[in-house]
Amino acid sequence: MTEIFVQIIFGWPFIIASLLLSVAGVALKRHQLLVAGAFFFMPPSLYLSGYPGIRWFALLLPFLILGAAYLVRRNRSGIAWLLLLPPILISGWLAYLVMEQSRNLSGG
């Protein structure tokens, strides 16, 4: 039971929920959704900080989402989209690595 809970918090369910909340927050101009998205992205960013190439940058990702929340609150949604790009791109990069690894393990 504990293993599943840890996988949910540090894995894809929280990453996907965070990105969906963040995108919805900017699209709907609701800063509260972005704050929730930043909260959900904190555990995955701690996990990502274990990768040497993005160690410190990964820890900044939730703060970028919080910055986007601040900009949405100030009616600057265009710039808020730019602050969401790094979390989205890092998550996409991680998804690519996971799929590539599973493809290599299956012999494809």
Residue owning tokens 């600057």: 76
What the block records as the tokens of 59 is 């820890």
Beta carbons of 48 and 54 less than 8 angstroms apart = yes
Q: From the CA atom positions of the chain, what is the Rg in Å?
A: 15
| Per-residue pLDDT at 94 exceeds 80 | yes
Domain ranges of the chain: 2-105
* Nearest residue to 61 via CA among 88, 31, 24, 95: 88
Backbone angles phi, psi at 61, to 5 degrees: -55, -45
Q: What is the mean pLDDT of residues 39-49?
A: 94
Tokens matching residue 95 = 């998804």
Confidence of residue 17 (pLDDT cuts 50, 70, 90): very high
Q: Could you tell me which residue, 9 or 25, shows the higher pLDDT?
A: 25
State the pLDDT at residue 2.
81
How far, in Å, CA of 58 to CA of 79, rounded? Answer: 20
Per-residue pLDDT, 108: 59
- Check pLDDT > 90 for residue 10: no
CB 74 within 8 A of CB 9: no
Lookup: tokens for 11:
């894995």
